[in-house]
Amino acid sequence: MNFDVELVGKIGSMALVDSVHGELDYNKFVRISRFLKPGMIWVSSGATVIGRLDYIHRNGKELTGPADDVKADYAAQGQTILMQTYRNFIDSRYSVRQVLLEHNHFNNETNREHIKNLLLRCAEQNAIPIINYNDCVSSEENRKLEILKLQKAGKHVVELVDNDETAAQVACLVKARLLVILTNLDGIYSDLGNPDSLIREISGKDAAEVIENIDAVKQMCSGASREGANGAKAKLEYIKPCIEIGTKVIIASSRYDLKDIVENKVPCTVIAAK
């Protein structure tokens, strides 16, 4: 099976933050950046959380106002810091390119093709794309109205409700060999309260059987690693299209080196057809 991209990876917001001290976890950025090279695509949450921390640090208080406005303002402030930090630690021989996506980029064939070609050119041009959802310009109300309109027209709709879905859709778009989703946990658990219940593998003889087994695992999953997260069930649903095209998926903890995760040297959940 031929793939156009070696790896699409994603890290969540809280995995990039030292919550104890309320600042960036620079060690995470270093480990990720050391691994990245052209031919890989990185999806990074964090702009809103980082922008909030930076605003509080500079002003001694939080922003107030409508939730969508506050989120947009924090995201705009955090996006510059997020990209600057990746640029500081990624190998200086490689270009770094920011790509901000929205749901409408995936619900229009012309937009999809444009984004796909942009991402594929990066490998040819010695560049690493860093993707994030464009929270600065996307309000929740407008997004829901646009999606409802598409659904009423009978179209298949991509919502991109979080960057797990964004990463999965990007992996499908560029036909990635591997999708790695980094979280605060070691992978998918059958019982989130039991650290010994890590599911190390979800497999099957073909994609159809893997998806059947994914659905079985989803029935065991409950809760999320943090308040506001969509949890394991959502991740497992988002990756189904990736499994259908032959992409191998790994869900693992951000505390491990990406090299060790990819080489299956650490506890994680691997999802793929045999």
Angle between helices 163-174 and 109-124 (to 10 degrees): 80
Instruction: Look at the block and give the residue holding tokens 């919502």.
Output: 159
Instruction: Return the domain boundaries, the chain.
Output: 5-273
Cβ within 8 Å of residue 151, ≥6 positions away: 157
Quick one: pLDDT at residue 188? Answer: 95
Pick the range with the lowest mean pLDDT from 81-90, 155-164, 181-190, 220-229: 220-229
How far apart are the C-alpha atoms of 19 and 17, rounded to whole Å? 6
The Cα–Cα gap between 20 and 28 comes to 15
Instruction: Name which of 219, 220, 119 is nearest 166 in CA terms.
Output: 119
Taken as a whole, the chain contains a residue count of: 274
Name the pLDDT band for 139 (thresholds 50, 70, 90). low
Q: What is the pLDDT of residue 225?
A: 43
pLDDT tens digits along 144-155 = 666 666 566 666
Coil, strand or helix at 191: coil
Contacts of 154 (CB under 8 A, 6+ apart): none
Name residue 202's beta-bridge partners. 271
Distance CA 135, CA 82 (A): 14
Q: What is the mean pLDDT of residues 220-228?
A: 56
Structure-model confidence comparison of residues 218 and 229, the more confident one: 218
Return the half-sphere exposure (C-beta side, CA atoms, 13 A cut-off) of residue 159: 14
**Statement: residue 202 has pLDDT above 90:** yes
Query: Domain 5-273: which topology?
Result: Carbamate kinase (3.40.1160)
3-class secondary structure, 22: coil
Q: Is the pLDDT of residue 140 over 80?
A: no
Q: Supply φ then ψ for residue 273, to 5 degrees.
A: -75, 150
Do residues 178 and 6 make contact, with C-beta atoms less than 8 angstroms apart?
Answer: yes
Residue 28's Cβ-count burial label (10 Å; 0-12, 13-18, 19+) is: buried
pLDDT tens-digit profile of 1-50?
Answer: 789 999 999 999 889 988 888 889 999 999 999 999 999 999 999 999 99
